[in-house]
Amino acid sequence: MPDPTPTRGPCLPPELAIIIPTFNEAGNVAEIARRIGVSLEGIRWEILFVDDDSPDGTAERVRDLARQDPRIRLLRRVGRRGLSSACIEGMLATTAPYLAVIDADLQHDETLLPRMLERLKSEELDIVVGSRYVSGGSVGDWNQRRQAMSRLASRMAQRLIHADLADPMSGFFLLRAPILADCVGDLSGVGYKILLDIFASSPRPLKFLEMPYGFRQRERGESKLDNAVLWEYLLMLLQKLIGPRIPVRFIAFSLIGGSGVLVHLAVLWLLNRLLGTSFLIGQSVAALVAMTTNFFLNNVLTYRDMRLRGRQLIWGWFSFVLACSIGAIANVGIATYLFEGDSGWVLSALAGILVGAVWNYAVTAVYTWRGKAG
Ligand code: GDD
Ligand code: MN
């Protein structure tokens, strides 16, 4: 007698969830979904598009697809950006025991997915990575600069994760859901290096395999990875070195604060030394200029994913300058107090700076970037 339980179809929960982060991929979503459907014939799958409210109507396109096929789902995030966090949230939004992440733009080879799943199971691996850098893989038509950048980033990454991964930057991989569950609390979620983040955050070394594929050319839409991605990558490395206790935004904020000191000195030198204004005026203008450059740098780097634009910039700048001015008073107050209590000038100054920095960070996180900072 034939087994009465259905082994296929949407009435059974999916075995494999494919997470596809999207930003402005309206022209690609139908094709990637179609190709995945063809490749995964015979496997119970679902596709989760995680869209960061793309202005080109990607979410609408996905919704159209989902209306025709219940295995396709949409997770739409509003007021957020970020490839890593999109992947993490997509992976957390499914109950499938196996999770895959793949780009929407058809640059990854979706025909590899069934073999990735097969080997993950048969060889009892934790994770299988689609790799451009093992024999048989390729990076396609990347220019020299991009290739060099990618190689440098990979080398730095290998040191960090102590795993001999040829392509730690890959955005194409398949893993067991519990592996994610084990490290999800420690993921930095910043930037676009989700695979690296998983390897670096896993409580034990992962059993992995790299399978080669040829990185294809993008046919429609454009790459979203710009120079700021490099900055996010550095932040992520720093975060892994320093540990999860200190928020990565605070690290970024402090680095930018340090750059503000240089701006301050440069402006003061220009006004006071070169143009001969009084020290008081020079110092005041320098402080204002440094706060202003800090504000804009923080806006595009630290709070890149919740950047203030247009008229919001005015309130943002004003609240930032106000908060930092109070921070400066606290800084001087504490330092003077400690100094008078015989703490030594270096220690007193550092304590003042620390208190000022924490104050500035905490207050601007809530008031300037409107409590969006988590
Ligand atoms: N939800 C969401 N939010 N998706 C995003 C975002 C974002 O902020 N930024 C990019 N994506 C999506 C894109 O729509 C695409 O599906 C995928 O993430 C990869 O983005 P691309 O802009 O196409 O990246 P790439 O081709 O330049 O970079 C590839 O190579 C890197 C290796 O150097 C990607 O595969 C990366 O994942 C990979 O690390
Ligand atoms: Mn791409």
Question: What pLDDT does residue 257 have?
Answer: 94
DSSP code per residue over 13-64: PPSEEEEEEESS-TTTHHHHHHHHHHHTTTS-EEEEEEE---TT-HHHHHHH
21 lines ligand 1 (CB under 6 A): yes
What is the C-alpha to C-alpha distance for residues 322 and 324, in angstroms, rounded to an integer? 6
> E strands along 52-126, which residues?
72-76, 98-101
Among candidates 297, 313, 291, which has minimal Cα distance to 369?
Answer: 313
Question: What pLDDT does residue 198 have?
Answer: 94
Confidence at 374, pLDDT banded by 50, 70, 90: very low
What is the C-alpha to C-alpha distance for residues 43 and 96, in angstroms, rounded to an integer? 12
Confidence at 372, pLDDT banded by 50, 70, 90: very low
Give the predicted TM-score (pTM) of the model. 0.76
Among candidates 78, 101, 110, which has minimal Cα distance to 197?
Answer: 101
- C-alpha 69: how far from its chain's center? 30
Question: What pLDDT does residue 6 have?
Answer: 52
Confidence at 7, pLDDT banded by 50, 70, 90: low
Question: What pLDDT does residue 9 have?
Answer: 53
Choose one of 58, 143, 225 to mutate for the ligand 1 pocket test, by most ligand atoms within 8 angstroms of C-beta.
Answer: 225
Protein residue with its CA nearest to atom 13 in ligand 1: 22
- C-alpha 365: how far from its chain's center? 18
Q: Any residues with CB less than 8 A from the CB of 120 and at least 6 apart, and which?
A: 98, 127, 128, 174, 175, 176, 209
Confidence at 49, pLDDT banded by 50, 70, 90: very high
Question: What pLDDT does residue 8 have?
Answer: 57
Question: What pLDDT does residue 87 have?
Answer: 97
Point out the ligand nearest to the CA of residue 53.
1
- C-alpha 23: how far from its chain's center? 14
- Chain segment 229-282, per-residue pLDDT in tens: 777 778 878 887 888 788 888 999 999 999 999 999 999 999 988 998 898 899
287 lines ligand 1 (CB under 6 A): no
CA of 285 to the centre of ligand 1 (A): 41
Residue 300 DSSP one-character state: I
DSSP code per residue over 252-275: HHHHHHHHHHHHHHHHHIIIIIIS
CA of 101 to the centre of ligand 2 (A): 13
- Rounding to the nearest 10 degrees, give the CA dihedral for residues 171, 175, 179, 184: 30
189 lines ligand 1 (CB under 6 A): no
Pairing mode of beta strands 45-51, 16-22: parallel
- Chain segment 169-223, per-residue pLDDT in tens: 899 999 999 999 999 998 887 777 899 889 988 999 999 999 999 999 888 888 8
CA of 19 to the centre of ligand 1 (A): 12
List residues bridging with 17 in a β-sheet. Answer: 46, 99
Protein residue with its CA nearest to atom 28 in ligand 1: 225
CA of 359 to the centre of ligand 1 (A): 35
- Which residues are close to ligand 2, an ion, with C-beta < 5 A? 105, 107
pLDDT above 90 coverage of the chain, percent: 57
Choose one of 83, 91, 172 to mutate for the ligand 1 pocket test, by most ligand atoms within 8 angstroms of C-beta.
Answer: 83
Choose one of 52, 74, 172, 192 to mutate for the ligand 1 pocket test, by most ligand atoms within 8 angstroms of C-beta.
Answer: 192
Q: How far is CA 336 from CA 99, 342, 361, in A?
A: 56, 10, 21
44 lines ligand 1 (CB under 6 A): no
Structure-block tokens of residue 233: 């990558």
Confidence at 38, pLDDT banded by 50, 70, 90: very high
Choose one of 22, 32, 132, 138 to mutate for the ligand 1 pocket test, by most ligand atoms within 8 angstroms of C-beta.
Answer: 22
CA of 107 to the centre of ligand 2 (A): 6
* 152 or 355: which leads in pLDDT: 355
- Chain segment 110-144, per-residue pLDDT in tens: 999 999 999 999 999 999 999 988 877 777 767 77
Residue 266 CB neighbours (<10 A): 13
* 373 or 231: which leads in pLDDT: 231
pLDDT above 70 coverage of the chain, percent: 95
Give yes or no for a contact between 33 and 65, defined as CB atoms under 8 angstroms apart. yes
Average pLDDT, whole number, for the chain? 89
Judge whether residue 302 has pLDDT over 80.
yes
